[in-house]
Amino acid sequence: SQTIHQWPATLVQPVGSPLSLECTVEGTSNPNLYWYRQAAGRGLQLLFYSVGIGQISSEVPQNLSASRPQDRQFILSSKKLLLSDSGFYLCAWSRAGARQPQHFGDGTRLSIL
Amino acid sequence: KQEVTQIPAALSVPEGENLVLNCSFTDSAIYNLQWFRQDPGKGLTSLLLIQSSQREQTSGRLNASLDKSSGRSTLYIAASQPGDSATYLCAVRPLNTGNQFYFGTGTSLTVIP
């Protein structure tokens, strides 16, 4: 069976510090990978998605970047965090193909001080 | 742009009651619609996926229906239990943006023992 791991579960960072969140998927190959942010009381916002190694699409301009160095590894990064980067970050995967469901990790709660 | 709405935002019912959660979307040109459950501080758990050609899907006490032409989906929960308490989200995958899922803001369900 397939599993998705996301870490850390919680993170408290000062403004201006760098960020690296990691997501890995097991039990499948060549998945589509996604990073979402969920703000309090708001729906999920898609930040980045990737259909293959080194292929990243950004949905919104922002202070964050994403990379996919390996087939089942997806990393969300920032060089300098802003207060507005606080939120709940979720990684998801799906099999290639538009009719496939998405499956989510447990999320990372990021607080910026 | 696709907009997804879930009404009500919150719902409280006594244990054992059958209930219906609603999801509406503005553009009927979709591949599919997926229902999720989210427990506080956790990631999303996939419940049901309905393809655009399907009318309903069932899993245990859950039944999801899709009326694509009217832009509506319902999630029916039979014989509700306190363990069903969570936030329920729906998401649609439009035809014209295959890698983008649009989420509603969810319905927070509380089942009272």
Mutation target vs B (from A3, A36, A44; most B CBs, 10 A cutoff): A44
Q: Which residues pair with A20 in a beta bridge?
A: A77
User: What pLDDT, in 10s, does the model give residues B10-21?
Assistant: 999 999 999 999
CA dihedral B11, B15, B18, B22 (to 10 degrees): 20
Nearest to A43 among B45, B99, B104 (CB): B104
User: What pLDDT, in 10s, does the model give residues B64-109?
Assistant: 999 999 999 999 999 999 999 999 999 999 998 767 889 999 999 9
Task: Inform me whether the C-beta atom of residue A50 falls under 8 Å from chain B C-beta atoms.
Answer: no
Let me know: does A75 contact A68? Beta carbons within 8 Å.
yes
Let me know: does B1 contact B100? Beta carbons within 8 Å.
no
Task: Inform me whether the C-beta atom of residue B100 falls under 8 Å from chain A C-beta atoms.
Answer: yes
**Distance, CA of B110 to CA of A95 (rounded, Å):** 33
